[in-house]
């Protein structure tokens, strides 16, 4: 075998050293980090819908009519002819005042009238024959008229001994019993009758809310609800719904200086007597209809450091954008948004804790939102506001 030359050996050694140096340099280079995948977020695509605007207001019931039963003549009460707390009819006798004195007055008045009439009739014949003067006839005729008026007064007083119910309704407790002395024009009423069917419900609304509603109706943001604008529904103190609908009668023409509110009055049928005067209730009034309302799920609405409502949306290039919005009121589990969001926006409701504005994300349909099964009409039942 032939021995390799020294020159060839040097070349081989140089190549080996170069390979070793290259391997060392590669081992000293830091490893490049792997690129993190974009976070996934659940989104809901907003759509506009018809929204019926209702306002829930606190109120109290009041009797439709109230009558204070008072005596019209003086005397002793002989009988009380009703049961306290029962329903009475108009014209029903409630009390009997001792009538003896007034019956005697009636008989005396009737006798005086008969005598005066007889004298006037006789003078009528005699004046034609010039047996009496015209003045005597005129005086006799005037006496007859006075006697007739006295007779009518005696009849009225005798009739007033029977104290009758002026209206139909429910009568309260009696302030006088048998044997009590009563007098005409006394300050204390004998009893109070309240008509409860129908019944009033008086509610108060802020003057600011009333002005805002009128402004939105005038600008076209809201449309009048037609015949339903006068309809009012009611919830009782135990949060149960009253089965009968009422109608709005009127609103006050002035604002209360102390509370800054306006009083609204509605009338409700009360055939079963469920509503009693003084009960605390909540009335829902239909105010108007918003044709293209944006209702955003509450899970996608947060607040910034200033307390202002905000929402995270996904833009067309799959990046996150922060929107300042204006949400006036709740509608079930959604907010009615008037500014900041529009139809077609993808609002993020899941994964908010993993994102920030400007980040790239992957989207999927949110699973924490219930899809509305009803038609496009919603109803507002709360007075919460987000300014």
Distance between CA atoms of residues 142 and 20, nearest Å:
151
Write out the CATH class of domain 44-62+196-379.
mainly beta
Distance between CA atoms of residues 93 and 82, nearest Å:
8
In 19-109, beta strands by DSSP E: 40-45, 48-69, 75-80, 87-88, 93-97
Distance between CA atoms of residues 293 and 51, nearest Å:
6
Q: Is 10 helix (H, G, I), strand (E, B) or coil?
A: helix
Pick the CATH number of 74-98+161-188 from 3.30.70.270, 2.40.50.100, 2.160.10.10, 3.30.420.40: 2.40.50.100
Partnered with residue 262 across adjacent β-strands are 205
Query: For residue 43, which phi and psi values (nearest 5 degrees)?
Result: -125, 160
Distance between CA atoms of residues 262 and 256, nearest Å:
6
Sorted by where each begins, the domain ranges of the chain are: 44-62+196-379, 74-98+161-188, 99-160
Helix, strand, coil percent values for the chain (each to nearest 5): 25, 35, 35
Tokens standing for 170?
């429910």
> What fold is seen in the domain 99-160?
Helix Hairpins (1.10.287)
pLDDT digits (tens), the chain, 387 positions: 444 456 666 556 666 666 655 555 554 555 545 567 788 888 999 988 888 777 788 899 999 999 999 999 999 999 999 999 999 999 999 999 999 999 999 999 999 999 999 999 888 888 888 888 889 988 999 999 999 999 999 999 999 999 999 999 999 999 999 999 999 989 999 999 999 999 999 988 887 777 776 776 666 655 555 555 567 889 998 889 999 988 888 777 778 778 888 888 889 999 988 999 999 999 887 777 777 888 889 888 988 888 889 999 999 888 999 999 988 778 778 888 888 898 989 999 988 888 888 888 888 888 887 655 433 344 444 333 333
* Half-sphere CA count of 29, side-chain side, radius 13 A: 9
The neighbour count for residue 141, using CB atoms within 10 Å, is: 18
pTM exceeds 0.75 for this model: no
Tokens standing for 250?
């009127």
């Amino acid at each position: 075998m032939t021995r390799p030359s020294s020159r060839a050996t040097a070349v081989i050694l140089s190549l080996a050293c170069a390979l070793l140096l290259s391997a060392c340099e590669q081992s000293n280079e830091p490893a490049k980090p792997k690129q993190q995948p974009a976070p996934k977020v659940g989104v809901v695509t907003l759509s506009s819908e018809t929204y019926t605007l209702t306002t829930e207001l606190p109120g109290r019931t009041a009797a439709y009519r109230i009558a204070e039963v008072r005596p019209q003549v003086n005397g002793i009460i002989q009988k009380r002819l009703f049961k306290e707390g029962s329903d009475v009819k108009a014209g029903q006798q409630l009390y009997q005042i001792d009538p003896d004195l007034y019956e005697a007055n009636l008989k005396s008045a009737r006798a005086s009238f008969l005598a005066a009439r007889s004298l006037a009739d006789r003078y009528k014949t005699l004046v034609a024959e010039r047996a009496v003067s015209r003045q005597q006839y005129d005086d006799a005729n005037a006496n007859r008229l006075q006697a007739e008026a006295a007779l009518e007064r005696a009849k009225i007083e005798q009739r007033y001994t029977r104290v009758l119910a002026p209206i139909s309704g429910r009568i309260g407790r009696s302030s006088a019993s048998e044997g009590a002395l009563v007098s005409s024009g006394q300050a204390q009423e004998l009893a109070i009758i309240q008509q409860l069917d129908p019944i009033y419900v008086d509610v108060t609304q802020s003057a600011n809310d009333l002005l805002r509603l009128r402004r939105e109706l005038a600008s076209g943001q809201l449309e009048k609800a037609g015949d339903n604008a006068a309809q009012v529904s009611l919830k009782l103190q135990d949060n149960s719904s009253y089965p009968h609908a009422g109608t709005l009668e009127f609103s006050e023409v002035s604002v209360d200086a102390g509370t800054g509110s306006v009083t609204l009055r509605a009338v409700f049928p009360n055939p079963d007597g469920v509503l009693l005067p003084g009960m605390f209730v909540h009335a829902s009034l239909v105010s108007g209809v918003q044709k293209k309302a944006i209702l955003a799920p509450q899970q996608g609405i947060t607040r910034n450091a200033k307390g202002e409502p905000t929402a995270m949306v996904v833009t067309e290039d799959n990046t996150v954008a922060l929107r300042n919005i204006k949400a006036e009121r709740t509608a079930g589990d959604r907010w009615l948004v008037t500014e900041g969001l529009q139809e077609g926006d993808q609002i993020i409701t899941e994964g908010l804790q993993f994102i920030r504005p400007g980040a790239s994300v992957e989207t999927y349909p949110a699973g924490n939102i219930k899809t509305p099964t009803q038609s496009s009409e919603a109803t507002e039942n709360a007075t919460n506001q987000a300014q």
